[in-house]
Chains A and B, each alone.
Chain A
């Protein structure tokens, strides 16, 4: 029976069900056991499965993320959590030179069914080293699938898909969508979630609002900013279509193209840095496919500055509903 679940519970439920189904699935990371994950994504797992399959690690990311590779090479299906995406620098080599490339370099001999799960996003004054999104950085490297759920239904389905996938999948959750109570979260992110296991296919975007005048493409928390903007715009007679990409790699280019062909206008909303990232990729997709827009596309992205600490500074640079509304109005 479906019930409303916050995202953090949907994720831990997905992991628990896969651990029950497949004994090769196990979890490693910092504070994922006794604490249940700083953002709750592994809550209850230690009690259910014990410390052999739910391993609290030392602060040795190169070692435990690299270990995921070794375990996967022997048929295990490890899930590793690294608390904040900002922390990945310390273990980057194991991810982008090894986990991402092992299948290709080995000519397909080695499979890498690894899930790397991490928290992203700002908006609560955690400053430059705890608020980034950085999915663009990982999406840039061939060999890593990138999923970013925006609600609890997708969170559970994408986690199950990620665990069952034979490739490395980076699973990003936005802290501000987890429904933790202590971290502001839009209530819309906690939706009905079936109790039984199910999958949401990796690589499929979702049109979360249909419209005719403009396409707004977003992921994670920006999906809600886009939806709230669309509601306001409708009052002024502007019909916006909102696409939740849900997956960055592989990117559902068809969904973007179909929508833009219909609307002829494009706004991309991105909480990650503006340059060389998701927003540019979406726009390039449209341009390369020869879809002619009525006006040049617009990106509402994080300007190319580190995340500032002070609330007033962070609010100024963080994309939001108002910035989206203003952008749409400039092109209509």
Chain B
């Protein structure tokens, strides 16, 4: 496995930039989410109504994988997908406007936070657990039939690995040798149910053996380790050698959704998550090894803060859709 020093500095800075942008975005969005929801938490109130699942603490999974993806590669995410969207290159302004329910959003306000679609970057996500895996198989079929070299990445949480779709899709991708990478983002919790009470094996990567494909488990605390593992799997898929399964061990820094008091979660687990912060860890590594200076990092941070603020401003200042728009667009080719 490549050492930090062997990776070009601009790549390392890009990894840092994307991770920090995600964190900045999620924490800023959280502030907006709680507007008009205090002291009483009212899910329908405020500029961002509905559920909100944030990805703070899981940045390494998204960035480590997406660094190797081109716009034509498909990424299919979950209900918690902002980090993958940002890492994949989805337009931050349009994405934010969508989350604020505005006409300028990716889907004009019809999709929302759990249903982000950006066809330009081949990004999509879903509110149904385990939905991504078969869909990625289909992208793999298309690549093979068309003779094109794009790959598909399906993301699911550790909870999603207990869905039938996961097992059916792995088998399909394996028998047809499709260019698909299955990513299990293991944050140990399916809402309130801990992995050890829901999953018969300690590592979901072991399940790859059942389908005769490579399965690797990697510590998401170390984004470079994720970067290396993803690189190998994605290159393998591009070479036509078939699917892989990657399990990335991450820690959920926030609740399942905003407003989740996490009363089911042992205090030590949340403390552990704070210690396993991949962003802080990477920052520390870069500085300790003398690869970057504080000034360089500060410059990136400032740029990210500015970009996130511009996205929020764009969303806040955008108009809401015309109500009648609700009735349009059920079918293609007309209204």
Q: Taking the complex as a whole, does A directly touch B, i.e. does some CB pair lie under 8 Å apart?
A: yes
Asked if residues B43 and A124 are in contact (CB atoms below 8 Å), the reply is yes
Known contacts A30-B190, A58-B190, A125-B101: A90-B259 contact under CB 8 Å: no
Distance, CA A34 to CA B266, complexed state (A) = 12
Asked if residues B164 and A125 are in contact (CB atoms below 8 Å), the reply is no
Asked if residues B321 and A60 are in contact (CB atoms below 8 Å), the reply is no
B140 at the interface (CB under 8 A from A): no
From B40, B44, B101, B324, contact of A181 by CB (8 A):
B40
The chain B residue with its CB closest to the CB of A182 is B41
The chain B residue with its CB closest to the CB of A62 is B164
Asked if residues B114 and A35 are in contact (CB atoms below 8 Å), the reply is no
A residues 170-185 near B (Cβ < 8 Å) are 181-184
A residues 159-197 near B (Cβ < 8 Å) are 181-184
From A90, A309, A314, contact of B111 by CB (8 A):
A309
Distance, CA A60 to CA B197, complexed state (A) = 13
Least CB distance from B114 to A in Å reads 6
Chain A hits for B42, CB < 8 A: 182-184
Most chain B CB inside 10 Å of its own CB: which residue of A63, A129, A305, A308: A308
Least CB distance from B317 to A in Å reads 16
Asked if residues B43 and A130 are in contact (CB atoms below 8 Å), the reply is no
B residues 107-132 near A (Cβ < 8 Å) are 107, 109-115, 126-130
Chain A hits for B113, CB < 8 A: 127, 309
B291 at the interface (CB under 8 A from A): no
Chain B hits for A181, CB < 8 A: 40-41
Distance, CA A316 to CA B192, complexed state (A) = 35
Chain A hits for B197, CB < 8 A: 56
Chain A hits for B201, CB < 8 A: none
Asked if residues A123 and B44 are in contact (CB atoms below 8 Å), the reply is yes
Asked if residues B199 and A58 are in contact (CB atoms below 8 Å), the reply is yes
Chain A hits for B49, CB < 8 A: 124-125, 311
Asked if residues A316 and B43 are in contact (CB atoms below 8 Å), the reply is no
Most chain B CB inside 10 Å of its own CB: which residue of A61, A184, A311: A311
Asked if residues B159 and A125 are in contact (CB atoms below 8 Å), the reply is no
Tally chain A residues at the interface, Cβ within 8 Å.
44
User: What interface size band does chain B fall in?
Assistant: 35 or more
Asked if residues A129 and B128 are in contact (CB atoms below 8 Å), the reply is yes
B residues 290-326 near A (Cβ < 8 Å) are 320-321, 323-326
For the residues of B in contact with A, the DSSP-based class is loop
Known contacts A310-B321, A313-B325: A90-B128 contact under CB 8 Å: yes
Known contacts A58-B159, A130-B127, A183-B44: A312-B50 contact under CB 8 Å: no
Known contacts A90-B130, A130-B51: A30-B110 contact under CB 8 Å: no
Asked if residues A90 and B326 are in contact (CB atoms below 8 Å), the reply is no
Least CB distance from B97 to A in Å reads 10
From B43, B164, B320, B330, contact of A60 by CB (8 A):
B164
A315 at the interface (CB under 8 A from B): yes
B residues 4-58 near A (Cβ < 8 Å) are 40-44, 49-51
Asked if residues B50 and A127 are in contact (CB atoms below 8 Å), the reply is yes
Chain B hits for A305, CB < 8 A: 326-327, 330
Distance, CA A126 to CA B44, complexed state (A) = 9
Asked if residues A58 and B162 are in contact (CB atoms below 8 Å), the reply is yes
Asked if residues A128 and B115 are in contact (CB atoms below 8 Å), the reply is yes
Distance, CA A63 to CA B130, complexed state (A) = 14
Asked if residues A60 and B162 are in contact (CB atoms below 8 Å), the reply is yes
Chain A hits for B129, CB < 8 A: 59, 87
Asked if residues A31 and B128 are in contact (CB atoms below 8 Å), the reply is no
Most chain B CB inside 10 Å of its own CB: which residue of A63, A127, A129: A127
Distance, CA A123 to CA B44, complexed state (A) = 8
Distance, CA A182 to CA B325, complexed state (A) = 29
Asked if residues A127 and B326 are in contact (CB atoms below 8 Å), the reply is no
Known contacts A58-B193, A182-B259: A315-B323 contact under CB 8 Å: yes
Least CB distance from B153 to A in Å reads 20
A108 at the interface (CB under 8 A from B): no
The chain A residue with its CB closest to the CB of B127 is A129
B191 at the interface (CB under 8 A from A): yes
B74 at the interface (CB under 8 A from A): no
Asked if residues A312 and B323 are in contact (CB atoms below 8 Å), the reply is yes
From B43, B98, B193, contact of A31 by CB (8 A):
B193
B281 at the interface (CB under 8 A from A): no
Asked if residues B327 and A317 are in contact (CB atoms below 8 Å), the reply is yes
Given contacts A124-B44, A304-B330, A309-B110, 16 further A-B contacts (CB under 8 A): A34-B263, A35-B191, A35-B263, A58-B159, A59-B129, A87-B128, A89-B128, A125-B112, A127-B50, A128-B115, A303-B327, A309-B111, A310-B110, A310-B321, A312-B323, A313-B321
| A–B pairs, 13, beta carbons within 8 Å | A35-B263, A58-B199, A60-B163, A125-B101, A127-B113, A130-B127, A182-B41, A184-B44, A308-B110, A309-B50, A311-B101, A312-B323, A313-B325
Q: Which B residues form the contact surface with A (CB < 8 A)?
A: 40-44, 49-51, 98, 101-102, 105, 107, 109-115, 126-130, 159-160, 162-165, 190-193, 197-199, 259, 263-264, 320-321, 323-327, 330
